[in-house]
């Protein structure tokens, strides 16, 4: 067994799976800095690796994003799930909630302020899109505190397994998802989608002519 599998077995005692959603992962291909109206703007080019945002964005499309503080509800954002820079998700913002405000109607209060997000093709919001894997092994929790990152009140991320730990009045549970039970903090947003290059596009027709060519 691999080390990640061993840690998973150590972490979880009881397995109860309830799969609810699909991730919208992307690969960042390159980044670039431009000057516009006297301001330096950080741009990124990312490729779509799933169909969670179809039909507007599909597998193989490329998206141009800008790192900006100007985010409007309805924008498509690239964000770090749980603040983990290796877990990039490209989904749409549906709402912004304050701390303790329900993340959905009748749902739990947000552990902190942030965006509620969803893939256009998914049935549920990211904050509901997860699975409960079972009760946490508290001895693991105690032994690996240096590897466990707090991402909210009573909500933690295990950096070894990318699994979520959340404490309730009934005990501590292990969960898996893309932003399960956690809104997206503003500082986790990497960029806002500004343009799309559809898969199969003729790049020559999209590019200005190179002088002398």
Q: Transcribe 102-117 into DSSP letters.
A: BSSTT-PBPSSSEEEE
Q: Is residue 120 domain-resident?
A: yes
pLDDT tens sequence across 81-103:
888 888 899 999 999 999 999 99
Min mean pLDDT across 26-30, 82-86, 189-193 is at 82-86
Q: What is the total count of domains within the chain?
A: 1
Q: How confident is the model at residue 14 (pLDDT cuts 50, 70, 90)?
A: very low
Q: Is residue 203 domain-resident?
A: no
Q: Is residue 177 domain-resident?
A: yes
pLDDT at 104 over 60: yes
% of the chain residues with pLDDT over 70: 87
Does residue 15 or residue 99 have the better pLDDT?
99
Q: What is the pTM of this model?
A: 0.80
Give CA–CA dist 194/152, Å, rounded: 30
Q: Is residue 171 domain-resident?
A: yes
Closest to 195 measured CA to CA, from 64, 68, 29, 89: 64
pLDDT tens sequence across 110-168:
988 999 999 999 999 999 988 888 888 878 877 888 888 887 777 888 888 878 888 87
Q: Is residue 28 domain-resident?
A: yes
Strand (E) or helix (H) holding 143: helix 138-143
Q: How confident is the model at residue 79 (pLDDT cuts 50, 70, 90)?
A: very high
Q: Is residue 147 domain-resident?
A: yes
What does the mean pLDDT of the chain come to? 84
% of the chain residues with pLDDT over 90: 45
Q: Angle at CA 164, nearest 5°, toward 163 and 169?
A: 145
Question: How many residues are listed for the chain in this entry?
Answer: 213
Strand (E) or helix (H) holding 29: strand 26-36
Q: Is residue 188 domain-resident?
A: yes
| pLDDT for the residue numbered 44 | 94
Using CA atoms of 156, 177, 95, 84 in order, give the dihedral in degrees to the nearest 10: 50
| pLDDT for the residue numbered 190 | 95
Q: Which positions ≥6 away from 142 have C-beta within 8 Å?
A: none
Q: Which domain holds residue 34?
A: 3-198
Q: Which positions ≥6 away from 5 have C-beta within 8 Å?
A: none
Q: Is residue 205 domain-resident?
A: no
Closest to 65 measured CA to CA, from 193, 162, 208, 200: 193
């Amino acid at each position: 067994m691999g080390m990640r599998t061993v840690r998973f077995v150590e972490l979880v005692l009881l397995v109860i799976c309830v799969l609810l959603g699909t991730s919208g992962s992307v690969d960042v291909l390159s980044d670039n800095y431009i000057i516009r109206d006297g301001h330096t703007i950080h741009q990124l080019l990312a490729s779509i690796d799933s169909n969670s945002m179809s039909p507007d964005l599909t597998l193989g499309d490329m998206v141009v994003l800008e790192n900006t503080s100007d985010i409007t509800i309805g924008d498509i954002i690239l964000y770090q799930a749980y603040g983990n820079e290796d877990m990039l998700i490209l989904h749409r913002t549906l709402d912004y909630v304050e701390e303790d405000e329900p993340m959905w109607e009748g749902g739990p209060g947000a552990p902190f302020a942030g965006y509620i997000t969803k893939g256009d093709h998914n049935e549920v919001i990211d904050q509901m899109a997860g699975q409960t894997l079972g009760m946490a092994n508290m001895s693991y929790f105690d032994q690996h505190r240096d590897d466990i990152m707090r991402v909210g009140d009573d909500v933690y991320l295990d950096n070894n397994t990318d699994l979520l730990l959340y404490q309730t009045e009934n005990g501590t549970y292990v969960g898996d998802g893309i932003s399960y039970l956690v809104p997206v903090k503003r500082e986790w947003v990497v960029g806002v989608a500004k343009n799309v290059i559809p898969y199969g596009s003729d790049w020559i027709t999209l590019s200005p002519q190179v002088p002398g060519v």
